[in-house]
A = this chain, B = another copy of it.
């Protein structure tokens, strides 16, 4: 297994020169684009790591998975999807177009409009401290904190998300305080994780929401089922469809360079690689996952060998 991970990294690294770190906020642009790491945590409680798996980076959009699950547990499926759909949008991740054309609901909870809506469901009942605790437990990583610098940088450059949030308010979708919802959303994006944390989160999700050792229920099992499905159809921005075909593992990427991947009933995989492709997904990480999927037969519809 270790050898396979090393090979995967080697292949992934070849694509790094074609990618770029996110640059829309100055803090993200400071990442070292050559970093690449992959961590696998299995239901047999083995951990395999290669590359930069201890490096901390901000979770960014991967936090949408956590926020969605907590909202599902807190408010229930019907409430969460009363004013939001669960359809892939076919558009870039920060587009306003679809929201406006259809003039009713955000397409899904993985796009910014949907994630801000989801954050609004939690305001004011669930505090950021509550959410931080959820993140620590679900990622099996008690060291997660919020990266204050990234958070400040994001808040200083959030005009587009603020526009989305006020548009949601104008449509009666976001009923909580706009600025508080936006802040909670942005704080969650600024959580500082490692590839290992994401592998931990993936392992918990592959295990239906239970702690892999203790069996303790960490999050509602139906919330996990819904989250995994939406990761599959909407998790990799507007490259989700092709990723499902090529890799076939429910995954969620963030512009910080992370990818969370959940191999049903088998393992969690966490990736860090801040050089992004044109869809906003870690370019090295995507190739690592494609390689692992083939080598380890992880595609959900892989033919029997």
Contact = CB atoms under 8 A, between A and B. Distances in A.
A301 B159 contact: no
Interface in A243-295: 244-245, 248, 250, 264-265
B232 A244 contact: yes
B245 A241 contact: no
Interface stretch (A92-100, A144-152, A186-194): A92-100
A138 to B, nearest CB: 16
A220 to B, nearest CB: 10
Q: Which secondary structure characterizes the binding site on chain A?
A: helix
A124 interface: no
Interface residues of A, number: 56
Stoichiometry (number of copies)? 4
A159 B172 CA distance: 10
Contacts of A87: 88, 90, 238-242
A268 to B, nearest CB: 14
Interface in A87-139: 87-91, 95-98, 100-101, 107-108
A154 to B, nearest CB: 13
Given A166-B162, A166-B163, A96 B100 contact: yes
Interface of A: 85-91, 95-98, 100-101, 107-108, 159-160, 162-167, 169-170, 178, 208-209, 221-222, 224-226, 228-230, 232-234, 238-242, 244-245, 248, 250, 264-265, 299-304
